């Protein structure tokens, strides 16, 4: 189902899932992300808003990762080009992101999302080539091992770390299995089993039980959509303007960084 609601097919004559839910998810992800960042970096501790980051703020990353995995799997012919567009947003956002005080210098979440998408799409392509006999099994194993080394190295340098990088490939695995699962019980049970790793990783990314609850509930909701609930989602009344969607992440960090510089709380990323 494309943006206009027209039926299209995946490989093997499987109908594409409807993506109307992503219109709602865009608004929810931006709002919860912004509330999280404002509560962490802008509002004074005396306001008592610390709870926002550990509750509503835990919705944003699983939702962003789900949208990236969904579009990368179902709605683009070139996931790597899509990953490059996300990376471009991350490059623009990195300077204001780096001005905000943190325990360690990290690359922002767009790098996590872009790398996770490239990893998931790359592994799917290698597996497809191996099944078609184009790629020998030893080369597939070697490529998989190299990707694990890259994951190990990059995980210490990006926001949400190793688990964040894992989430998009695991989402892609779960979405495909749940969407293709037919009526026989063994097939449905196998699809549910494919969804469990995404739920586990989402839970492990959070430290408190409350934060885990919000994050895992978000993950569970998008897995339910992949399992068929996407058909019942209506169009969002007001679609998010494309410029707002592309510019909000670097823009809101720039505003936060300017406020912190004004207050004398920002940290310049150079001597």
* pLDDT (tens digit per residue) in 153-207: 999 999 999 999 999 999 999 999 999 877 677 788 888 899 999 999 999 999 8
Domain positions in the chain: 21-169+235-263
Structure tokens at 11: 């490989």
Measure CA 26 to chain center: 12
Q: Is 194 helix (H, G, I), strand (E, B) or coil?
A: helix
**Region label for 107, one of left (φ > 0), alpha (ψ between -120 and 50) or beta (otherwise):** beta
What is the token pair recorded at 129? 């080539």
Buried b (16+ CB within 10 A) or exposed e, 231-250: eebeeeeeebeeeeebebbb
pLDDT in tens, 52-97: 999 999 999 999 999 999 999 999 999 999 999 999 999 999 999 9
**Alpha helices (H) in 71-108, listed in sequence order:** 79-99
Name which of 179-183, 217-221, 230-234 the model is least confident about: 179-183
């Amino acid at each position: 189902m494309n943006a206009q609601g027209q039926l299209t097919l995946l490989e093997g004559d499987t109908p594409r899932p409807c993506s109307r839910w992503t219109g709602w998810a865009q608004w929810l992800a931006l709002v919860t992300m912004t509330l999280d960042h404002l509560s962490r970096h802008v509002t004074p501790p005396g306001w008592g808003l610390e709870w926002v980051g550990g509750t509503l703020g835990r919705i944003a990353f699983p939702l962003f990762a789900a949208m990236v995995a969904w579009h990368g799997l179902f709605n683009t012919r070139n996931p790597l080009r899509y990953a490059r567009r996300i990376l471009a947003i991350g490059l623009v956002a990195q300077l204001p992101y780096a001005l905000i005080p943190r325990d360690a210098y990290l690359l922002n979440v767009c790098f996590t999302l872009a790398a996770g998408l490239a990893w998931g799409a790359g592994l799917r392509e290698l597996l497809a080539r191996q099944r078609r006999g184009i790629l020998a099994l030893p080369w597939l194993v070697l490529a998989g091992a190299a990707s694990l080394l890259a994951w190990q190295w990059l995980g210490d340098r990006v926001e949400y770390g190793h688990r964040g990088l894992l989430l998009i490939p695991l989402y892609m695995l779960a979405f495909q299995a749940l969407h293709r699962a037919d009526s026989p019980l063994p097939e449905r049970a196998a699809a549910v089993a494919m969804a469990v790793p995404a739920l586990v990783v989402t839970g492990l990314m959070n430290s408190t039980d409350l934060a885990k609850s919000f994050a895992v509930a978000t993950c569970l909701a998008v897995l339910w959509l992949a399992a068929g609930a996407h058909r019942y989602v209506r169009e969002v009344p007001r679609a998010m303007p494309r410029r707002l969607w592309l510019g909000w992440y670097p823009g809101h960090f720039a505003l936060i960084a300017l406020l912190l510089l004004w207050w004398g709380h920002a940290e310049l990323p150079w001597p």
